[in-house]
């Protein structure tokens, strides 16, 4: 299918903490696939790693004005006064890039970007990466009121999981939901080189932010039990985050240093995935994280929390799901797979089989692009 209307697009992603996580990876994935599809795409962000990844792949970028207002609440009054400037910024980007479409992914960008898009007549698509349920729970805050105003004017809101949409239903009035579309996340399939694992070791991998909300403290507790039954196991964790120091302290408290490697940020996470026997994702809450999908694309079974859209993404035959905040159950699932070579091999085969329909390119071609084309066509 050749693009009829979608020639130029702007994709925006910012975050309170300028760290590289799943939502930032999503912006990179979308920009990369659009570029390969012949779209002149610009990724707008102030996240350093996202800028670096995009520029490395030849994706156009714009480093925008954006405040880390969640961590600088004393500046919030000034932030409100900057509304016109922030809206003007996005309007200028859309006009200067002659954009046919705007894609926005976080609360503040959705507010400012939608106002700008309406001023210049460009269709705007929202992706919800778990912000909406928190905003819907506090509808009377100033930013929430602004958010609702913008939400009514978005052309489409893409929800990434049934579970996430269900979390919103109870608090969000139905009139706001008329333009919701459910599309599960995909991931870019990459290639990697094995990281030189010792032959006698089994590797459990994690990739993402080093954040207590990702369940990593639970993982340390679980690992203390796992190593008693599977002494050859090692846990390799890739990423950076606010709780890295506390995570290291907990590893030392349990005397698990020989069993843990904190790898920092990896330019190519696929090097880790092709090395791993199991991918673990013990998050406390998530909408539709990309990391488990990337693991499945690499043919790696997943042990993850039964939260958000993860049960929709991880087939039963390719992974084990456990309740969050349960280190004992997490340990049990890991021991069950590490100690059963036949079952582990079967799950690896199932992961490889599930992969093709979960690639970002497939989701873009079958879901995103037809939707974008229709929205742009309706505006003309």
With both helix axes pointing from N to C terminus, report the angle between 244-253 and 216-229 in degrees, rounded to the nearest 10: 30
Report how far apart, in Å, the C-alpha atoms of 215 and of each of 71, 185, 205, 231 are: 22, 21, 14, 22
Domain pair 8-187+359-379 / 202-358, same fold: yes
The highest-level CATH class for domain 8-187+359-379 is alpha beta
Report the C-alpha dihedral over residues 51, 57, 58, 62, rounded to 10 degrees.
-10
For residue range 267-303, list pLDDT tens digits in order.
889 999 999 999 999 999 888 888 999 999 999 999 9
Q: Cβ(294)–Cβ(208) under 8 Å? A: no
Q: Which CATH number fits domain 202-358: 3.40.50.10790, 3.40.190.10, 3.40.50.2000, 3.90.1150.10?
A: 3.40.50.2000
pLDDT in tens, 189-239: 888 888 888 889 999 999 988 999 999 999 999 999 999 999 999 999 999
The domains of the chain are located at: 8-187+359-379, 202-358
Q: How confident is the model at residue 243 (pLDDT cuts 50, 70, 90)?
A: very high
Residue 186 DSSP SS3: coil
At 356, list the tokens. 């093709």
When pLDDT is cut at 50, 70 and 90, the band that residue 13 belongs to is: very high
Q: How far is 297 from 218, CA to CA, in rounded Å?
A: 25
Asked if 336 and 160 count as a contact pair (C-beta separation under 8 A), the reply is no
Angle, helices 327-338 vs 341-354, to 10°: value is 100
Q: What is the pTM of this model?
A: 0.83
What digits encode the pLDDT tens for the residues 115-174?
999 999 999 999 988 778 777 776 556 567 788 889 999 999 999 888 888 878 777 778
CA angle at residue 96 from 90 to 101, to 5 degrees?
Answer: 65
């Amino acid at each position: 299918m050749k693009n009829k209307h979608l020639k130029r697009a702007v994709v925006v992603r910012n975050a309170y903490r300028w760290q590289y996580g799943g939502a930032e990876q999503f912006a990179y994935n979308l920009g990369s696939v659009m570029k390969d599809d012949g779209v002149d795409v610009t990724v707008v962000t102030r996240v350093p790693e996202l800028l670096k990844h995009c520029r490395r792949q030849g994706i156009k970028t714009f480093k925008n004005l954006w405040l880390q207002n969640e961590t600088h609440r004393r500046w919030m009054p000034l932030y409100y006064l900057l509304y016109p400037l922030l809206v003007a910024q996005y309007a200028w980007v859309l006009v200067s890039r002659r954009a046919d479409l705007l894609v926005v992914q976080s609360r503040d960008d959705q507010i400012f970007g939608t106002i700008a898009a309406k001023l210049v007549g460009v269709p705007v698509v929202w992706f919800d990466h778990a912000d909406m349920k928190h905003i819907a729970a506090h509808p009377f805050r100033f930013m929430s009121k602004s958010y609702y105003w913008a939400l009514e004017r978005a052309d489409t809101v893409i929800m990434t999981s049934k579970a996430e949409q269900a979390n919103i239903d109870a608090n969000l009035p139905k009139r706001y939901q008329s333009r919701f579309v459910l599309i599960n996340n995909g991931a870019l399939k990459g290639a990697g080189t094995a990281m030189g694992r010792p032959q006698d070791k089994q590797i459990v991998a994690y990739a993402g932010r080093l954040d207590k909300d990702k369940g990593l403290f639970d993982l340390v507790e679980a690992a203390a039990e796992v190593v008693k039954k599977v002494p050859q196991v090692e846990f390799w964790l890739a990423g950076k985050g606010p709780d890295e120091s506390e995570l290291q302290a907990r590893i030392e408290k349990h005397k698990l240093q020989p069993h843990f490697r904190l790898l920092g940020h990896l330019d190519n996470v696929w090097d880790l995935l092709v090395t791993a026997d199991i991918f673990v994702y013990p998050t406390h809450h998530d909408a539709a994280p990309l990391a488990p999908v990337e693991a499945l694309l690499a043919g790696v079974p997943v042990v993850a929390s039964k939260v958000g859209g993860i049960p929709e993404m991880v087939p039963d035959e390719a992974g084990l799901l456990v309740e969050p905040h349960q280190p004992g159950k997490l340990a049990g699932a890991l021991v069950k797979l590490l100690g059963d070579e036949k079952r582990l091999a079967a799950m690896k085969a199932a992961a490889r089989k599930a992969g093709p329909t979960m690639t970002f390119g497939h989701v873009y071609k079958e879901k995103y692009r037809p939707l974008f084309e229709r929205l742009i066509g309706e505006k003309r």
